[in-house]
Amino acid sequence: MSGLHPARPFPEAAKSEVNNPQLRANLRKVTNTIREKRLRAVGELPHWEELRVLGAATKDASLAHLSDRLLELEASVKARGGHVHWARDAAEARELVAQIAQGHGVTELIKVKSITSDEIELNRALDAHGIHAIETDLAELIVQLSHDTPSHILVPAIHRNRAEIQALFNRELGDPEHLSDDPAVLAGAARRYLRQKFLTTKMAVSGANFAIADTGTVCVVESEGNGRMCVTLPEVLVSIMGIEKVLGTWEDISVFMELLPRSSTAERMNPYTSFWSGVTPGDGPQEFHLILLDNGRTDVLADEVGRQTLRCIRCSACLNVCPVYERAGGHAYGSVYPGPIGAILTPQLLHMDDKNANTLPGASSLCGACFDACPVRINIPQVLIYLRGEANGHKGTTLESVAMGAARYAMSEGWRFEGAVKLARAGQGPLVHGGQITALPGLLGGWTQSRDLAPFPPQSFREWWREREAEGAGGEP
């Protein structure tokens, strides 16, 4: 399982990924399907724009009071008989889960799909302790059995087709029947395999979509029912959540239950959502642990432009509308967070001096579709441009207001930025000295008043892609 760290720079990884015709065909089909469905689901709801504004403001309010919210959450979970742990980084979080498992003599546990657990590379760490974590989400199970990594937040096995899954299940699940490639048959095989695990496994690990401070309530949103199984049937439950997932009061959950399913799977509501507060006598796990994970989030919070990234509710809407993601696929981002959200979140969590992660803000055409789709109005293009500046700038300096003014102006209309970049590129020849641009005319001049700027790449992603298409590299129009 790959964690946060990209092993290669984005442009290099993208080049090899776009040559996979299976991946591209699947991606195109899935993103197009979800994109169209999402527009219908969103269009059906009156006040969608007002709900987005409210969702963004609700998250911002929580983040502005984050320490109070977390302390309140801790107190209310404890008051309901749960345990609360704090983890500064991935290693601390992994160690906490392993210790709890070892305390119960557990060598096998079941897991609800959780990107946060992938972020900390939990499964590999548990393996090293002799503990096997079984993924119970169908797509995650496919990914796990094939020793692969997820390529989409919502549909992690989006890059696999039914024939591959058929071969995999026939080999790995030890089913006496030979399975056909019918998705229903394959899902049935996973059901049989996992049923016994659900009924008999002592411990489960989950993530959390939201947690509510005043009631100590944790929430898991899902479709298959594997989440309900994991948070209900085992004796011990551990939930790992990023500190930004906390909300203030129970009533705050409403707007997100309106925004999330429609943005994510384009449904009016996802089939199942579970809410629990600590331990309920006689119902569900009688031991509950909540792990609050920082792992770079407080650094994101400290950044005035970047902090809006923490509003993200991991709906994946931005992936499905992104022309770069559609072509390059999730693996090109090299991180558990792919797509536009990954392009801004990963480098911020890892810091801009991570030499592979700092290529991610370039993984965008800046077309603005991600901002329009985002249910909590994260201005992804704005953060991308800002991070590009950070990647180019001297370490330790912050962008000055004049540069920010240029970015804001450029972003106020997408074409203006694209146009400005083209102009800058066309005209940059005489301005490059020793690989750095020291003065830039026109719209983007503000950028260079406070810093040197690496030359614009000779092509935008879009142009680069068009050229590849013309060369017939990808096999599809």
Partner 1 sequence: MSNAEARLEILTRINRAVRDRDVPERPAYPRAEGQSRADVLHTFEDRILDYRAGFVRVSPDGVREAVRAALGDARRVVVPDGLDPAWLPDGLDVRRDTPPLTHAQLDGVDSVVTSCAVAVARTGTIILDHGPGQGRRALTLVPDLHVCVIHAHQIVPDVLDGVHAVAGAVRAGRPLTWLSGGSATSDIELVRVEGVHGPRTLRVIVVDG
Which residues sit at the interface with ligand SF4, rule CB under 6 A?
A: 263, 312-318, 341, 373-376, 378
Among 2, 20, 170, 232, binds partner 1 (CB under 8 A): 232
- Tell me the β-bridge partners of 135: 111
Residue 374 binds which one of ligand SF4, partner 1, none, with CB within 5 to 8 A depending on kind?
A: ligand SF4
Residue 313 binds which one of ligand SF4, partner 1, none, with CB within 5 to 8 A depending on kind?
A: ligand SF4
Applying CB under 8 A, the span of 210-218, 365-373, 454-462, 468-476 interacting with partner 1 comes to 210-218
Among 269, 421, 431, 432, binds partner 1 (CB under 8 A): 269
Token readout for 186 is 């394959």
Q: Which residues, 155 to 174, sit near partner 1 by CB under 8 A? A: 155-157, 160-162, 165
Q: Which residues, 292 to 311, sit near partner 1 by CB under 8 A? A: 292, 294, 298-299, 301-302, 307
Q: Which residues, 348 to 407, sit near partner 1 by CB under 8 A? A: none
Q: Which is nearer to partner 1, 226 or 460 (CB)?
A: 226
> What CA–CA distance (Å, rounded) separates 30 from 326?
9
Tell me how far, at minimum, the Cβ of 371 lies from partner 1, in Å. Answer: 18
Q: Which is nearer to ligand SF4, 207 or 216 (CB)?
A: 207
Count of positions (residues) in the chain: 477
Q: Which residues, 13 to 72, sit near partner 1 by CB under 8 A? A: 26, 29-30, 33-34, 46-47, 50-51, 53-54, 57-58, 60-61, 63-67, 70-71
Q: Which is nearer to ligand SF4, 287 or 326 (CB)?
A: 326
> What CA–CA distance (Å, rounded) separates 20 from 108?
35
Tell me how far, at minimum, the Cβ of 147 lies from ligand SF4, in Å. Answer: 26
Strands lying side by side in the sheet with 203-206: 83-87, 287-293, 236-242, 203-206, 108-111, 132-135
Q: Which residues, 187 to 206, sit near partner 1 by CB under 8 A? A: 187, 190-191, 194-195, 198-200
- Tell me the β-bridge partners of 432: 437
Tell me how far, at minimum, the Cβ of 226 lies from partner 1, in Å. Answer: 5
Residues near 230 by beta carbon (within 8 Å), at least 6 away in sequence: 110, 111, 112, 136, 198, 204, 205, 206, 237
Are 364 and 414 in contact by the 8 Å Cβ rule? The answer is no
Q: Which is nearer to ligand SF4, 373 or 440 (CB)?
A: 373
Contact flags string 70-109 toward partner 1, x per CB under 8 A:
xx--------x----xxxx---x--xx-------------
